[in-house]
């Protein structure tokens, strides 16, 4: 039966469908050979656009790259350079683009002996490294009551990151259950007395000795403080706490600084495929900072033995971006917050020079566009509070070094001192907590949440502040009676009314503060969260023991096989431990024809489209990534690795492009894939020209699940030829 008219995208959708869906599309008969009209095929002769991006060029590029990387590796110099650059948006955009496209060679943190053989596919290389780790440090079954040796990889004080403070609160609750050593990438560590006895290791040392730990716990955030962790996670997998679902900032810094060349580009392609790279190229040409628009975190989720996030919002983002299979190993554990050691409002106000009868509203954290500071200032200035000398609004945090921050400064200066607005700037921990004790109310707004949980909101609740938020991201998950929750997209007048109500209703403020503290006592205290941490770590450890046992059994079954040989065999004999995204592999010969471009346009939506080619020297398939990138006019992703397949994948073979080109060898590979659950599609546009051509087609048809022709006559002829 002839299928209805379809264009290239619809053809792609059909070929991506499971075999049973295609059978339904052909009236349920599931014939061996179906008919697809010629006008449904994409036109031939489509020219590839010129490639965009690629390495920075020009005589000045190399010295500029070296200078920029030297700056990026020194935090204080980096901050000064960014402060200057952001005041010149055009120059900042050009520098950003040059660094993000610069790439490099080599990868920091990967020792020569750690590399897996190039003859293995990506999954085979992961299995090889797993076998290496198992051989170097066999995992022993857990002994009841014994403390496992845990590497805790995280920036620590005095680094200016909230994750360092987070770690200081969590660690004491884990010390009874684990023998903990800290892993950092910083020259100085300042620990409170309760943690002073913990050994501190540098990241470079851990890269060489990480196998000696029973488990590793990584704290990943989206900042340069975490850029070194990507290479460590690849070498020593462990449980990951994902504080930010979007990791482009950390990845871009790792690439720009040269610490891990191509980190951003590789992570972008791994997470988002050709569709993501194509759209990123367009975004970048339009001046968009693409590392802020794409999460690129799938590589971290894949490498983690298990993942912890702090909100259902972050878990939903994983499913929305990467599909339902991405959340099977993600646990949601609240962001811990210990009760304040001191809460003395009078002393705090005296220290700040604030009178007791002043209504003090604070917004905590960096001044930035996604904190909706403009909206807060507009609401304040439009309310009666701005005209009341006993009302004060303080932005407790450093201003954003950008045109946005400059506009905030202008608004504050323009309002004049009588409006009661000031910017406190960056505060150390003691001063920050002084503001929390002194405040009467908090305002913590957010736009475009990327899976992060606001530590500032928890700080406000922890100090019993009636807190105004908008229902954006994880902030929508708080019980509405514990804070004042505005709609995600709120009117400035709504915010102004909330401020005025809290100003006049002390009873309501007090009740909200009490409910806030009760909420944290019930669900957010470190001891409770640490118990959930231990459950996740135990689960991950049990999984690791089971995987190690399976690998030992496979090693015994294969006798004295080398690790490389064993890893290659396991790729063929076993399915991935986690369900990967389905692939549509397109074997259309070299160079790829217009068909490949049409199918690549359908890349995304939970399915990964990959052009492939047959390497005749090795009788194996490779990913045709360089050719695919040229066809789309984008910077080339990583190299042409050997192909990995899994049950549910599909392959599309354009018969005319591959017939008589080692057809028997291809057919053998395709038959093996089909036996492993891969759907094999064959597309035929012309009848066999001779007996040799017919024999080649017969070999391909014999291993296909579905055959599509351009018309009924061709289908009938093909049926006779291959009968």
pLDDT at position 30: 41
Ramachandran sector of residue 654 (left: φ over 0; alpha: ψ -120 to 50; beta: rest): beta
Does any domain span residue 710? yes
Element (H, E) at 359: strand 359-364
pLDDT category at 46 given cuts 50, 70, 90 is very low
Diameter over CA atoms, the chain: 98
Full DSSP string of 168-214: HHHHHHHTTTEEEEEEE-SS-----GGGTTS-EEEHHHHHHHGGGSS
514 and 590, same domain (yes or no): no
Both tokens assigned to 484: 């004042």
d(CA 220, CA 218): 6
Does 287 or 65 have the greater pLDDT score? Answer: 287
Provide the CATH number for the domain around residue 402: 3.40.50.2000
pLDDT band for 89, please (50, 70, 90 cuts): low
Q: How confident is the model at residue 288 (pLDDT cuts 50, 70, 90)?
A: confident
- Give the model confidence (pLDDT) of 443-491 as tens digits: 999 998 988 999 999 999 999 999 999 999 999 999 999 999 999 999 9
Are 509 and 360 in a shared domain? yes
Do the Cβ atoms of 243 and 310 come closer than 8 Å?
A: yes
Does residue 104 carry a pLDDT above 50?
no
d(CA 378, CA 322): 38
Task: Looking at the structure, tell me whether residues 457 and 352 fall in a common domain.
Answer: yes
Give residue 300's pLDDT. 96
- Asked if pLDDT for residue 49 goes beyond 60, the answer is no
Q: Is residue 297, in this structure, part of any structural domain at all?
A: no
Percent of the chain whose predicted confidence (pLDDT) is above 70: 83
* CB 424, CB 436: distance < 8 Å: no
Q: Rounded to whole angstroms, how far apart are CA atoms 248 and 254?
A: 10
Residue (of 218, 132, 158) closest to 182 by Cα position: 218
Tell me whether residue 655 is in a domain: yes
Q: With contact defined as beta carbons under 8 Å apart, do 540 and 500 qualify?
A: no
Domain boundary among 505, 523, 541: 523
Does the pLDDT of residue 48 top 70, yes or no? no
36-45, 278-287, 470-479: the lowest-pLDDT one: 36-45
Give the pLDDT score at 185. 95
Burial classification of residue 317, based on how many CB atoms lie within 10 Å of its CB (0-12 exposed, 13-18 middle, 19 or more buried): buried
Nearest to 550 by CA among 576, 526, 532: 576
DSSP 384: G
Strands (E), 37-187: 148-153, 178-184
Q: Are residues 496 and 605 in the same domain?
A: no
Per-residue pLDDT, 400 = 75
Q: Pairing mode, if any, of strands 607-615 and 620-623?
A: antiparallel
> Between 182 and 711, where is the model more confident?
182
Residues whose CB is less than 8 angstroms from the CB of residue 442 and which lie 6 or more positions away in sequence, other chains included: 361, 362, 363, 364, 456, 457, 460, 465, 466, 467, 468
365 and 499 inside one domain:
yes
DSSP code string of 257-273 = TSSSTTHHHHHHHHHHH
Quick one: 586 and 710 in the same domain? yes
Q: What is the structure's pLDDT at 629?
A: 85
What residues form DSSP beta bridges with 443? 468
Find the mean pLDDT for residues 123-151: 83
Q: Does one domain contain both 469 and 350?
A: yes
Q: Which pLDDT tens digit goes with each residue over 502-548? A: 999 999 999 999 999 999 999 999 999 999 999 999 999 999 999 99
Kindly indicate the confidence band of residue 6, based on its pLDDT and cuts at 50, 70 and 90. very low
Measure CA 368 to chain center.
22
Confidence of residue 41 (pLDDT cuts 50, 70, 90): low
Q: Is the pLDDT of residue 59 over 90?
A: no
pLDDT of residue 253: 84
Taking CA atoms, 275 is separated from 405, 606, 610, in Å, by 34, 11, 11
> pLDDT tens for residues 236-262?
999 999 999 999 989 988 887 777 778
Residues 479 and 609 in one domain: no
Domain final position from 507, 523, 539: 523
pLDDT band at 144, cuts 50/70/90? low
**Structural domain containing residue 23:** 8-46+581-722
Residue 58 pLDDT more than 50?
Answer: no
Concatenated DSSP letters of 214-230: SEEEEEE-SSGGGTTHH
pLDDT tens digits for 563-600?
A: 999 999 999 998 888 878 889 999 977 555 677 777 77
Say which residue the tokens 């910017």 belong to.
423
- Is residue 512 assigned to a domain? yes
The whole-number average pLDDT for the span 673-681 is 92
Residue 210 has pLDDT above 70, yes or no: yes
**Are the beta carbons of 443 and 363 closer than 8 angstroms?**
yes
Distance CA 655, CA 684 (A): 5
Is residue 660 in some structural domain?
A: yes
Q: What is the reported pLDDT for 476?
A: 95
Dihedral sign (CA 493, 496, 502, 505): negative
Which two tokens mark 577? 């431990």
CA distance 236 to 226: 15
Do residues 413 and 489 both lie within one domain?
yes
pLDDT value of position 661: 83
Same domain (yes/no): 500, 359: yes
Q: What is the mean pLDDT of the chain?
A: 85
Report the domain count for the chain. 2
Q: Give the CATH number for residue 708.
A: 3.40.50
Last residue of a domain, one of 456, 491, 523: 523
Band of residue 67 on the pLDDT scale cut at 50, 70, 90: low
Same domain, 440 and 366: yes
Q: Among 320, 330, 325, 262, which Cα is nearest to 294's?
A: 320
Q: Are 454 and 475 in contact (CB under 8 A)?
A: yes
Distance CA 288, CA 160 (A): 27
Statement to judge: residues 385 and 512 lie in one domain: yes
pLDDT > 70? residue 657: yes
Cα–Cα distance measured from residue 518 to residue 462, given in angstroms and rounded to the nearest whole number: 9
Residue 30 in any domain: the answer is: yes
- What is the reported pLDDT for 634? 81
């Amino acid at each position: 039966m002839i299928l209805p008219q379809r264009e290239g995208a619809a053809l792609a959708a059909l070929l991506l469908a499971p075999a049973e869906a295609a059978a339904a599309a052909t009236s349920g008969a599931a014939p061996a050979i179906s008919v697809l009209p010629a006008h449904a095929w994409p036109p031939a002769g489509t020219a590839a656009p010129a490639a965009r991006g690629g390495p920075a060029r020009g005589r000045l590029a190399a010295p500029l790259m070296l200078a920029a990387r030297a700056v990026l590796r020194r935090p204080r110099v980096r901050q000064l350079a960014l402060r200057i650059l952001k005041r010149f948006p055009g120059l900042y955009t050009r520098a950003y683009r040059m660094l993000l496209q610069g790439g490099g060679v080599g990868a920091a943190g990967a020792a020569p002996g750690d590399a897996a053989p190039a003859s293995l596919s990506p999954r085979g290389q992961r299995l090889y490294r797993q076998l290496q780790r198992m051989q170097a440090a066999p995992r022993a079954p857990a002994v009841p009551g014994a403390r496992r040796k845990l590497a805790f990889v995280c920036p620590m004080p005095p680094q200016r990151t909230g994750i360092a403070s987070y770690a200081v609160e969590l660690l004491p609750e884990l010390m009874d259950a684990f023998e903990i050593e800290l892993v950092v990438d910083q020259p100085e560590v300042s620990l409170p007395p309760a943690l002073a006895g913990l050994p501190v290791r540098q990241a470079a040392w851990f890269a060489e000795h990480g196998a000696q730990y029973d488990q590793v716990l990584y704290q990943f955030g989206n900042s340069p403080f975490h850029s070194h962790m990507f290479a460590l996670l690849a070498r020593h997998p462990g449980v990951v706490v994902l504080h930010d679902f979007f990791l482009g900032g950390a990845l871009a810094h790792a690439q720009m600084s040269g610490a891990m060349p191509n980190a951003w580009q590789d992570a972008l392609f791994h997470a988002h495929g050709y569709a993501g790279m194509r759209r990123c190229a367009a975004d970048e040409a339009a001046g968009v900072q693409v590392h802020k628009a794409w999460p690129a975190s799938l590589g971290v989720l894949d490498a983690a033995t298990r993942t912890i996030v702090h909100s259902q919002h972050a878990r939903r983002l994983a499913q929305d971006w990467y599909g339902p299979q991405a959340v099977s190993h993600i646990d949601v554990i609240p962001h811990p917050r210990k009760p304040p050691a001191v809460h003395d409002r009078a002393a705090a106000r005296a220290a700040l020079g604030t009178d007791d009868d002043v209504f003090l509203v604070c917004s905590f954290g960096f001044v930035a566009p996604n904190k909706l500071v403009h909206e807060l200032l507009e609401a304040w200035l439009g309310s009666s509070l701005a005209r009341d000398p006993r009302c004060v609004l303080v932005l407790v945090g450093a201003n954003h070094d950008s045109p946005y921050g400059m506009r905030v400064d202008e608004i504050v200066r323009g309002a004049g001192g009588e409006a009661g607005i000031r910017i406190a700037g960056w505060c150390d921990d003691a001063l920050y907590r002084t503001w929390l004790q002194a405040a009467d109310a908090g305002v913590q707004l957010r736009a475009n949440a990327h899976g992060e949980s606001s530590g500032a909101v928890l700080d406000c609740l922890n100090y019993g502040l009636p807190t105004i938020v908008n229902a954006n991201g994880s902030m929508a998950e708080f019980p509405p009676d514990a804070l004042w929750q505005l709609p995600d997209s709120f009117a400035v007048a709504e915010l102004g009314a909330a401020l005025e109500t809290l100003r006049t209703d002390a009873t309501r403020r007090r009740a909200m503060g009490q409910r806030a503290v009760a909420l944290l006592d019930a669900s957010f205290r470190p001891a409770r969260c640490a118990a959930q941490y231990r459950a996740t770590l135990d689960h991950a450890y049990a999984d690791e023991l089971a995987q190690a046992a399976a690998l030992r059994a496979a090693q015994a079954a294969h006798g004295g096989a080398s690790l490389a040989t064993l890893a290659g065999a396991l790729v063929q004999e076993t399915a991935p431990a986690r369900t990967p995204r389905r692939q549509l592999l397109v074997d259309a010969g070299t160079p790829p024809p217009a068909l490949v471009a049409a199918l690549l346009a359908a890349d995304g939506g939970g399915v990964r489209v990959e052009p492939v080619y047959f390497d005749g020297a090795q009788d194996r398939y490779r990913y045709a990534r360089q050719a695919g990138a040229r066809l789309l006019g984008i910077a080339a992703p990583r190299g042409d690795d050997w192909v990995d397949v899994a049950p549910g994948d599909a392959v599309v073979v354009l018969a005319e492009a591959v017939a008589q080109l080692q057809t028997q060898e291809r057919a053998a590979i395709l038959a093996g894939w089909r036996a492993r659950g891969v759907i094999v599609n064959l597309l035929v546009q012309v009848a066999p020209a001779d007996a040799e051509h017919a024999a080649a087609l017969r070999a391909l048809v014999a291993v296909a699940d579905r055959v599509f022709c351009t018309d009924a006559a061709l289908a009938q002829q093909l049926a006779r030829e291959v009968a």
